[in-house]
Amino acid sequence: MRGIGDDVDMNIRRIDGTEAARLAQAWLSAHYAVEAGEDVPFTVDGPLAFRVGGTAPVIERCWPAARYLFITAWNPAAVLVPPRHNQLADARLQQQLRQLRLSMHPASACDAGGGCYERGWLVPQATTAQADRLARAFGQGGVLVWDAGQAVRLRMMWPPPPKAPAHRYIDWAG
């Protein structure tokens, strides 16, 4: 029997355009941070915040790479699940990242109101193809990706909603 986060496409739940747009807006306004651990070559006070649409020069200085990914395995298909499910999915995600030989740094996300907290990972050097495969394998409707020196982008795994206005920091992978 397969569980959350197994190496299969979790068939991200089909949602209507209104729900996709609502989730995109929530993720655009969410707060993200990565823990500066002992591997950082200089002193950093506290977690390093980043946001969709902003650049992340301190993060890029801490972990130089050409490309970055923020991903979580929590709450697949944008549905709240019990903490134990999130912990198991996160352990599987870590295993997948290790198998791909990608470094990972503890990170987190929370909604603009400070609730709906999720643990995740900053993954330097992950390709767009890897980001999409991991997002789909762990049932994630969206991940954050960016190239060094560029703005952080939200990559949604659903098609763009009908009549949705283009947003300069959203890519719809659909």
d(CA 154, CA 131): 11
Identify each DSSP E strand in the chain by its residue range: 31-34, 48-50, 67-71, 105-110, 118-124, 142-147, 153-156, 170-172
d(CA 120, CA 158): 20
Residue 2, pLDDT above cutoff 70: no
For 92, what's the count of Cα atoms within 13 Å in the CB-facing half-sphere?
Answer: 21
Q: What is the pLDDT of residue 17?
A: 79
Closest among 103, 98, 89 to 137, alpha carbons compared: 89
pLDDT exceeding 70 applies to what percent of the chain? 92
Confidence of residue 3 (pLDDT cuts 50, 70, 90): very low
Name the pTM for this structure: 0.89
pLDDT 10s digits, 73-98: 999 988 889 999 999 999 999 999 99
